[in-house]
């Protein structure tokens, strides 16, 4: 029996498209093996040889105990909070970062323009209506999270003359934002026309969008959440929508996913649900995200962009 001694394992199902570009990136510089997460490990596999695993957080958590010499996990998801507390300190984890900016920007801009220009309603009109639309010029957007995704969204809305402010953990200024505020500073929410959350799931981000935040926004404000569901206090959001304190909410992520069929969000007239599809993982994104770190790993340099368990992102 030939013993398999891969240095890198790809935990992927047959339908997954990302392993091809990853194998092409590795280019035969070290041995690679694809493993189906729903099948048993090959009997001929030398688990001690595995140093790198590319997998979703859920699959990675399952396979970590089998690879005692593991050094690096490249996640195929942006969020890796599911791994917190389940990996040894000696194992570095890199989330899927720096590759979702365009997709998230498309999503945010698409929804704002659709709602502000009444695109869907206009397309279904059966009578003449010459009422002018409000447009977006001069409106104010607040983005919770000023990392690569938040910065990409800020850059995307700038040509439309939308003013942009940011919120981050420190309040430190970030390029592309007119002003940045520290987390939970209610001044950030004052008179917002658009509030976009791209936050990771941490204790500090739990219900950061609650009654006080909604009350500070304009009554015509649109809330968009493409980060993690824990950021929104769901009851407070429903109350604000019912009380006409907000115009609409576009929700891609939720505390419980899939969103239960009985949840009130499904039939609220001003809630738009997109079922965690805001930023699909294109075939080459995993390879793009791990490209620089793979070069560092192969020459023995330190990895960059590591998940910090203490921070939760």
Report pLDDT digits (tens) over 165-218. Answer: 999 999 999 999 999 999 999 999 999 999 999 999 999 999 999 999 999 999
pLDDT for res 309: 67
Q: Measured between alpha carbons, how far is 28 from 17 in angstroms, rounded to an integer?
A: 19
What mean pLDDT do residues 27-40 have?
A: 96
> Is the model's pLDDT at 1 over the cut of 80?
no
Q: What is the CATH number of the domain that holds 139?
A: 3.40.50.720
pTM above 0.75, yes or no: yes
**Does residue 220 share a domain with residue 115?**
yes
Residue 269 is assigned to a structural domain of this protein: yes
**Does residue 161 share a domain with residue 266?**
yes
**Does residue 189 share a domain with residue 137?**
yes
pLDDT for res 310: 58
Strand, helix or coil at 245? Answer: coil
pLDDT for res 307: 87
Residue-averaged pLDDT of the chain: 95
CA angle 19–313–246, rounded 5-degree value: 105
pLDDT for res 311: 66
pLDDT in tens, 208-261: 999 999 999 999 999 999 999 999 999 999 999 999 999 999 999 999 999 999
Residue 36 is assigned to a structural domain of this protein: yes
pLDDT for res 84: 80
The single residue of 97, 228, 233, 247 carrying the catalytic annotation is 228
Residue 182 is assigned to a structural domain of this protein: yes
**Number of domains into which the chain is organized:** 2
Residue 40 is assigned to a structural domain of this protein: yes
Q: Measured between alpha carbons, how far is 146 from 169 in angstroms, rounded to an integer?
A: 9
**Does residue 221 share a domain with residue 82?**
no
Residue 263 is assigned to a structural domain of this protein: yes
**Does residue 220 share a domain with residue 118?**
yes
Q: How confident is the model at residue 83 (pLDDT cuts 50, 70, 90)?
A: confident
Residue 304 is assigned to a structural domain of this protein: no
- Which of 19, 108, 11, 101 is closest to 55 using CA atoms? 11
Domain coverage including residue 203: 101-273
pLDDT in tens, 100-133: 999 999 999 999 999 999 998 899 999 999 999 9
Strand, helix or coil at 142? Answer: strand
Residue 306 is assigned to a structural domain of this protein: no
**Does residue 222 share a domain with residue 113?**
yes
Cα 45 to chain center, whole Å? 34
pLDDT for res 161: 97
Residue 78 is assigned to a structural domain of this protein: yes
What strands lie across the sheet with 271-273, from one edge to the other? 179-182, 163-168, 140-144, 194-197, 222-225, 248-251, 271-273
- Is residue 257 part of the annotated active site? The answer reads yes
The single residue of 257, 295, 296, 304 carrying the catalytic annotation is 257
- Is residue 276 part of the annotated active site? The answer reads yes
Cα–Cα distance list, 211 to 73, 154, 235, 243 (Å)? 38, 25, 9, 12
What mean pLDDT do residues 21-46 have?
A: 96
Q: Looking at beta carbons, which pairs linking 206-210 to residues 24 or more positions away fall under 8 Å?
A: 206/230, 206/231, 207/231, 207/232, 207/233, 207/236, 208/144, 208/183, 208/184, 209/144, 209/233, 209/236, 209/237, 210/236
What mean pLDDT do residues 1-23 have?
A: 95
């Amino acid at each position: 029996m030939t013993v398999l001694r891969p240095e890198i394992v790809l935990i992927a199902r047959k339908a997954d498209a990302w392993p091809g570009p990853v194998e092409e990136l590795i280019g035969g510089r070290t041995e690679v093996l694809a493993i189906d997460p729903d099948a048993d490990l090959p009997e001929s596999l030398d688990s001690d040889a595995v140093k790198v695993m590319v997998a979703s957080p859920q699959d990675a958590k399952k396979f970590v105990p089998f690879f005692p010499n593991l050094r690096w996990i490249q996640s195929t998801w942006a969020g890796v909070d599911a791994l917190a507390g389940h990996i040894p300190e000696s194992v570095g984890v890199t989330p899927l970062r720096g590759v979702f900016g365009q997709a998230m920007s498309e999503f945010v801009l698409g929804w704002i323009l659709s709602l502000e220009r009444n695109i869907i309603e206009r397309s279904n009109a059966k009578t003449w209506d010459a009422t002018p639309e409000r447009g977006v010029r001069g409106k104010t957007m607040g983005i919770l999270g000023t990392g690569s995704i938040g910065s990409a969204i800020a850059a995307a809305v700038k040509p439309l003359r939308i003013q942009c402010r940011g919120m981050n953990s420190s309040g430190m200024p970030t390029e592309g934002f007119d002003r940045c505020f520290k987390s939970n500073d209610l001044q950030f929410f004052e008179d917002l026309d658009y509030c976009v959350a791209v936050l990771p799931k941490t204790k500090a981000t739990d219900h950061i969008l609650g009654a006080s935040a909604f009350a500070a926004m304009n009554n015509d404000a649109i809330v968009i959440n493409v980060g993690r569901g824990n950021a929104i206090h769901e009851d407070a959001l429903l109350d604000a929508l019912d009380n006409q304190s907000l115009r609409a909410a576009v929700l891609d992520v939720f505390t419980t996913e899939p969103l239960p069929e009985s949840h009130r969000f499904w039939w609220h007239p001003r809630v738009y649900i997109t079922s965690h599809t805001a930023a699909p993982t294109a075939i080459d994104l995993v390879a793009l995200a791990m490209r620089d770190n793979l070069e560092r790993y192969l020459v023995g340099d330190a990895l960059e962009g590591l998940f910090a368990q203490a921070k939760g992102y």
